[in-house]
């Protein structure tokens, strides 16, 4: 392992753990408050008709994905899926960015999207507490 690889591993782990914490809270919300997830699906994705059971199934699938992601397992697929999911989430909120002073917290999605992108591109160097 080169000096650069040793130096880059801790920040990549920090990014992976940080992204995991945020995504985990959104996933747990589907179990704790499924009505909130249903409302988000309707407002931001234009998908109506979801119910509590569907939110919990989606939450379970997301949780499985996040466990793969945080453990550094199947990096191409798990990091890629997290990048795509967060990218869709970020872009689907585009109307919120048109009124920035009313929706400042939505802008936090952009640095997180950058972190997801960095993790995907540098996944081969993300080796601390990783399965591969």
Q: Taking 90 as the threshold, does the pLDDT of residue 69 lie above it? A: yes
Residue 8: Cβ-neighbour burial (10 angstroms; 0-12, 13-18, 19+):
middle
Cα–Cα distance for residue pair 68/43, rounded to 1 Å: 29
pLDDT in tens, 8-52: 999 999 999 999 999 999 999 999 999 999 999 999 999 899 999
> What crossing angle do the helices spanning 75-92 and 3-32 adopt, rounded to 10°?
60
Q: What is the pLDDT of residue 131?
A: 82
State the chain's mean pLDDT as an integer: 96
The pLDDT, as a whole number, for residue 80 is 98
Cα gap 12→22, rounded to integer Å = 16
Whether the Cβ atoms of residue 125 and residue 95 lie closer than 8 Å to each other: no
């Amino acid at each position: 392992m080169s000096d650069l690889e040793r130096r880059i591993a801790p920040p990549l782990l920090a990014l992976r753990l940080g992204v995991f914490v945020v995504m985990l809270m959104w996933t747990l919300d589907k179990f704790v408050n499924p009505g909130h997830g249903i409302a988000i699906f309707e407002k931001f994705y234009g998908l109506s008709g979801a119910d509590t059971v569907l939110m919990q199934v989606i939450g379970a699938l997301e949780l499985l994905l996040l466990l793969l992601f945080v453990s550094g397992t199947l990096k191409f697929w798990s990091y890629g899926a997290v990048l795509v999911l967060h990218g869709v989430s970020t872009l689907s909120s585009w109307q919120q960015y048109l009124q920035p002073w009313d929706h400042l917290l939505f802008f936090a999605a952009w640095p997180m999207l950058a972190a997801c992108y960095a993790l995907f591109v540098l996944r081969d160097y993300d080796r601390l507490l990783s399965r591969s």
